[in-house]
Amino acid sequence: MNERERYLETMLFGKPDKVPFKPGNARESTIKNWNTQGLPENKNYIDFAREKLGIEPQPKFTKADIWAEERMIPEFEEKVIEKKDRSQIVQDWKGNICEISNDFTIAHLRDPIDFVTRSWLKCPVESRADWEAMKLRYNPNEPSRIPENIKEEGKKAQNRDYVLGFEFSGPFWQLREWLGFEKLCMLFIEDPDFVKDMVIFWKDYVSALLEKVVPYVKLDYVHISEDMAYKQKAMISPAMTREFLSPCYSQWNEIIKASGCPVYGVDSDGYIAELIPVWIECGINECDPMEIAAGCDMNKFRQMFGKKMAYTGGVDKRAMAKGGKIIQDEIQNLIPVIKDGGFIPSCDHGIPNDVNWKEFLEYCGLLAKATGWK
């Protein structure tokens, strides 16, 4: 099987020859540590791990140029507002003003380069007037949001052997970016109409972007970022999720499924058992990263939700750091779900820098065996 066939067979509870080998994403500080522990600086860590373990190399693809840009246009100016002895106050591209350590740069706030702790000082939407101004930055008809030659690129992707999909911000995630977490949670109670107005706007905006692409290419997945759970509990109730967010999820699902795209996924850290039934109702059929420290249990979730939900992640990063019998038992515990299908085991978040290179290779070897690569 090629990469695309293997991915779809796994996610859709088919019969893959092997489960995709996806150990997880390592952050900048983790890779820097590994470079002092045996990973050559000029080597991709997954490629080198496969080489060391005797696994066939990752295939190299010439991919069609297909994308949809959801980020605001124009972005806010990225700048340092104040420099302190050990920290700095900065404005990021989203208009947030926050304080971060001098160990990092503004670039660390643009993409998930590393784990960055920040203190939020001001978010870009503090009033209705701010909201009206923010909406102007999200014109779905801005030509630069999709490739000019989308029809031609879509034809190139028709018979592809690689996985192709889109990732968007979910409504909870995006409103939190505009308002800040505390203000968003308060508005659900104090001004629910304002929340609904923003959700409707985001629903229609992302729908418009999808509609500009799906006529020309059948995607393998659409994935939304939607961190909305703590340890043990969701950040808002299932009832609130149904009332405020389900219309958004459901409208996207109609577009996604009508286009023939088979996988509609959602990313949320934390304990998401309360939310999964709502997501299933809305057509979502994949969740990640399945954070074990928050109480997610892959075997229990499979018993609870059956084959209505597939998963990616679910390998405890704490077990990876401990190695030995701890990680051996961790992978062994996941074997029933791997065999049952609908599960790509991977680190349950970014791989932290307390996982050393030796332990990572040990974990990769166990993972390769469990997923049929060795």
**Of the candidates 192, 201, 207, 199, the residue with the CA atom closest to the CA atom of residue 176:** 199
CB contact at 8 A, 205 and 138: yes
Last residue of a domain, one of 107, 123, 139: 123
Q: Summarize pLDDT for 237-291 with one digit per residue, the tens.
A: 999 999 999 999 999 999 999 999 999 999 999 999 999 999 999 999 999 999 9
221 and 168 together in one domain:
yes
247 and 335 together in one domain:
yes
User: Does the pLDDT value for residue 72 go beyond 90?
Assistant: yes
**Of the candidates 203, 217, 86, the residue with the CA atom closest to the CA atom of residue 164:** 217
105 and 146 together in one domain:
no
User: Does the pLDDT value for residue 129 go beyond 90?
Assistant: yes
166 and 261 together in one domain:
yes
Quote the CA–CA distance of 152 and 73 in Å, as a whole number: 25
280 and 327 together in one domain:
yes
CB-count exposure of residue 41 (10 Å: 0-12, 13-18, 19+): exposed
Last residue of a domain, one of 90, 106, 123: 123
285 and 207 together in one domain:
yes
Our count of domains for the chain comes to 2
**Which domain does 112 fall in, by range?**
77-123
Q: Summarize pLDDT for 137-153 with one digit per residue, the tens.
A: 999 999 999 999 999 99
118 and 55 together in one domain:
no
Quote the CA–CA distance of 286 and 308 in Å, as a whole number: 9
175 and 260 together in one domain:
yes
| Number of C-beta neighbours around residue 20 at 10 A | 18
Provide the CATH number for the domain around residue 218: 3.20.20.210
167 and 227 together in one domain:
yes
101 and 207 together in one domain:
no
189 and 261 together in one domain:
yes
220 and 270 together in one domain:
yes
Give the phi and the psi of residue 324 in degrees, each rounded to 5. Answer: 55, -140
Q: Does pTM top 0.85 for this prediction?
A: yes
